[in-house]
Amino acid sequence: MPLDTGFPIPGRAVVGQPIDRRDGRLKVTGRARYAAEFDIDNLAHAVLVQSTIASGEIAGFDLAAAQAVPGILAILTPENAPRLPEQPSRQSETSGPPVAIPLLQDRLVYYNGQHIAVVVADTLERAQQAAALVRVEYREAEAQIRMEDALGAAYPPKRFRNGARPPDSRRGDPEAALAMAPVRIDATYTTPVEHHNPMEPHATIALWEGEGEDHRLTVYSATQGISNTREALARLFGLKPEQVRAICPFVGGGFGCKGNTWPHVTLAAMVAGVVNRPVKLVLAREQMFSSNGYRPRTIQRLRLGADAQGRLLALSHDGLTSMSHPAPLPTYMRAPGEASGSFALESAMDELAVALKLDPIELRLRNYAETDPHEDKPFSSKALKQCYAAGVEAFGWGRRPPEPRAMRDGPVLIGWGMASATYPMNRSEAGARIVFDSDGTVAVQSGTQDLGTGTYTVMAQIAADALKMPLHRVRFELGDSEFPKAPVSGGSQSAASVGSAVLAAVDSAKQRLFEMALAAERSPVKGASPGELEFADGSVRLRSAPHRQIGIPALLARNRLERLAVEAGAKPGDEKKRFSMHSFGAQFAEVRVDPELGEIRVSRFVGAYAAGRILNVKTARSQAIGGITMGIGMALMEATRIDPNVGRVVNPNVSEYLMPVHADIPDLATIFVEEQDRMINPAGVKGLGELPIVGAAAAVANAVYHATGIRVRDLPILAEKMLVV
Ligand code: MOS
């Protein structure tokens, strides 16, 4: 299907078509309004002050110089900040070490870069100047900074979130199976701390209105979850959720770091209350490395045992991951767990293929699971084999010489590597509302978010098809917590969750319209039963005699309504108990390695994905491009460097925290193997936000091995790691 039409092809379902992103024009012309860009009267500006030690206590502040800056409205410190009605818990979810939730409620310092004061002024520049003049005296304590020093204290998480799998699982007797396996791999892989670095930094504008029962807090906040934001703020300030409104029509990327309501959001609301003015707080890029989580470090040991034919007899995967002791709290980052874990697993599989002298695809096919052996359930659908086949064909994998260092272009070594990818189908309860207007247009509303993934576009496509209306008459509205509640845009769940809610709302809306049409005065469908009616092209009509119809404007007028709003929700049933539900993919990378400089370039990349129904080939392909780009960054560039003495991030900027730029990314070929899966959810989608990063780093690492014979088990694969003699 061509990708350049952008407009729906008439007479066909719009779901699946490569429709242009509806917010694309607004974004490229700068008219899309992000959280920091709302034009609010009388806006004051807040700037955070952060600790410069890693552990200890604040002995005191000297605020004289800061307060002397003109235009200063307030300086909040633990000494004068309002006490929150609900003290945030200092125990982490895992009942492990204390977690730093820096809301100026006490003088403790848990990590370098922790928020310890907020300066508010009438202009940003004055707030920045005063923040720089805040003097802090500390009583410093010894900090535990290096993960290596804390390995003896590692523990398995005791509690975990609802729905998450237990941290430890075991089947059979892997030790015994390993001991008898004729071919074995035992290797340790490590991945560094990484930061998300979306283009749009975190930003919150907070404003309070009214008194008593009418006291209301509104935040314009960059977030992946407006409903979470509303609920977190309500809890912390002792308000009812209805008293808090979170607005976020556009998000400039998140990748997980905007999934939580981080302390700066609460602090913005707190200072807005103190100065009794709307306050804007935007994190500086540097603060994006200390305020909103990160992908934790991992140390993973993989042990594989196979028979001579390459059938796996044992697989043991032990992982250690860094926690907040006392560093800032880690969080989810695109495919949290899967991205780091698959680097180790898919590298080890490649090592096993080398040991067995088997093609990596052949090894995977010999171990292909037709049912989920771990959960002992059938897959609702699994087209991974078709992904392998499509990727092999598109990449030309059949021409791959088995030995490393076998392909060259002059002095440059060329290598091909592959990896499998998988990600669970996630879905949560969501709501949606259909609003029919007297002008014949339809608004579909849900309190979801569009991280740039295409939610605005694909939800309008789903609604247009379900309503049998042309796409241009359907608009999708999101990003306001007053809309029906939807889950956080994380875990690749928005399309499945919100898409199913939109379908449910359309169903309810049609039933409502049928009732109204049957009851209307002088109704052209009078006497029919609801089953004989259909809704198409904006009219309720008799299926057997479509000329007997009544349009929405007439229907509204006869009921003396300006508009009609119908709301419905959808939630998962027990299907996950009966089926194992996952998306799958096969990824293939070509790298070119300069043996003298060690420079590694990814020159080709093919990804084939089976992720249920593809709602929009264009936005889906963008997801794949983004995920692979991030995976290439993970493989070759990204690492947050932390000073082992003072616990401070030393590369908190986009010039020293390296990420791929356009010149680093080749043409990425994306193939979708469509699946018709009726089990997963009414929308038929499995989600694509995270799948494409899952195997990408391993595919690149395996290609680097094939090019050079050098197996790098420690990410990122920097040039110097290629210069071993
Ligand atoms: Mo994503 S890491 O589920 O926001």
Least confident range from 10-14, 343-347, 686-690: namely 10-14
Distance from CA of residue 250 to its chain's centroid? 14
**Using an 8 Å Cβ cutoff, are 461 and 615 in contact?**
yes
Q: What is the Cα 667 distance to its own chain's centre? A: 23
CA 258 – ligand 1 centroid, Å: 8
The overall average pLDDT reported for the chain is 94
pLDDT of residue 164: 65
**% the chain with pLDDT above 70:** 96
- Ligand 1 atom with the shortest distance to the CA of 334: 2
Could you give phi then psi for residue 259, rounded to 5 degrees? -85, -25
Higher pLDDT among residues 195 and 537, named by residue = 195
Residue 377 in contact with residue 579, Cβ under 8 Å? yes
At 301 the pLDDT is 98
**Structure-token pair, residue 166:** 């237990």
The pLDDT of 171-195, averaged and rounded, is 97
For β-strands 44-50 and 115-121, DSSP reports them as: antiparallel
Ligand 1 centre from 479 Cα, in Å?
Answer: 17
The residues annotated with a catalytic role in the active site are 690
Cα 76 to Cα 436: distance, rounded to the nearest angstrom: 48
Do 695 and 419 meet the contact criterion of CB atoms below 8 Å apart? yes
Q: ∠482-487-492 over CA atoms, to 5°?
A: 140
Rounded average pLDDT over 167-190: 95
The reported pLDDT for the residue numbered 88 is: 60
Pocket test for ligand 1, best of 202, 334, 340 (most atoms within 8 A of CB): 334
**Is the pLDDT confidence value at 542 over 50?**
yes
pLDDT in tens, 257-307: 999 999 999 999 999 999 999 999 999 999 999 999 999 999 999 999 999
* pLDDT at residue 539 greater than cutoff 60: yes
> Over 70: is that where the pLDDT of 89 sits?
no
The three-state DSSP-derived secondary structure of 202-238 is: CEEEEEEECCHHHCEEEEEECCCCHHHHHHHHHHHHC
> Ligand 1 centre and the CA of 490: distance in Å?
4
Task: Assign 100 a pLDDT band (cuts: 50, 70, 90).
Answer: low
Nearest CA among 426, 493, 424 for reference residue 455: 493
448: Cα separation from own chain's centroid: 13
Please report, rounded to a whole number, the percentage of residues in the chain having pLDDT higher than 90. 90
Which residue type is seen at 286?
E
The predicted structure's pLDDT at residue 168 = 85
The C-alpha atoms of residue 691 and residue 620 are separated, in whole angstroms, by: 11
Model confidence at 325: pLDDT above 70: no
Ligand 1 centre from 335 Cα, in Å? Answer: 6
Q: Looking at the predicted structure, is the pLDDT value of residue 2 above 70?
A: no
- Report which ligand 1 atom has the smallest distance to the Cα of 331: 2
| Region 140-163 average pLDDT | 82
Which pLDDT score is estimated for 9? Answer: 79
**In contact, 493 and 427? CB cutoff 8 Å:** yes
* Digit-coded pLDDT (tens) for 629-682: 999 999 999 999 999 999 999 999 999 999 999 999 998 999 999 999 999 999
pTM for this structure? 0.96
For residue 435, the cross-strand partners are: 443, 565
pLDDT reported for residue 212: 86
Cβ neighbour number for residue 634 with a 10 Å cutoff: 31
Which pLDDT score, from 0 to 100, does residue 3 have? 45
Residue pLDDT, tens place only, 28-49: 999 999 999 999 999 999 999 9
Q: Is the pLDDT of residue 91 over 50?
A: no
Contacts of residue 532, Cβ cutoff 8 Å, sequence gap at least 6:
525, 542, 543, 544
pLDDT of residue 8: 81
**pLDDT greater than 70 at residue 93:** no
Answer whether residue 403 shows pLDDT above 60. yes
- If one residue of 340, 690, 691, 693 were mutated to test the ligand 1 pocket, choosing by the most ligand atoms within 8 A of its CB, it would be 690
The mean per-residue pLDDT over the stretch 501-515 comes to 97
The SS3 of residue 42 is: coil
Sign of CA dihedral 480, 482, 484, 489: positive
Residue 86 has pLDDT above 90, yes or no: no
| Cα distance between residue 174 and residue 171, in whole Å | 8
DSSP code, position 54: S
pLDDT interval class at 115 (50, 70, 90):
very high
Residues with Cβ < 8 Å from 579, sequence gap 6 or more? 377, 378, 379, 380, 679, 680
Q: What is the CA radius of gyration of the chain?
A: 28
Which residues form ligand 1's pocket by a CB distance below 6 Å? 224, 254, 256, 259, 332-334, 336, 490-491
Tokens of 445: 């509303």
- Report the atom number in ligand 1 closest to the C-alpha of 257: 4
pLDDT recorded at residue 161 = 57
Position 236 scores a pLDDT of: 93
Mean pLDDT confidence for 566-590: 97
Question: CA angle, corner 376, sides to 583 and 386, nearest 5?
Answer: 35
Distance 39 CA to ligand 1 centre (A): 29
What's the confidence (pLDDT) of residue 160?
A: 60
What is the number of the ligand 1 atom nearest to the C-alpha of 332? Answer: 2
Number of residues that this document lists for the chain = 725
Angle, in degrees to the nearest 10, between helices 696-708 and 617-636: 50
Give the closest residue (by CA) to ligand 1 atom 4.
256
Ligand 1 nearest atom to the CA of residue 489, by list position = 4
If you measure from the C-alpha of residue 69 to the centroid of ligand 1, how many angstroms do you get, rounded to a whole number?
41
pLDDT score of 202 more than 60? yes
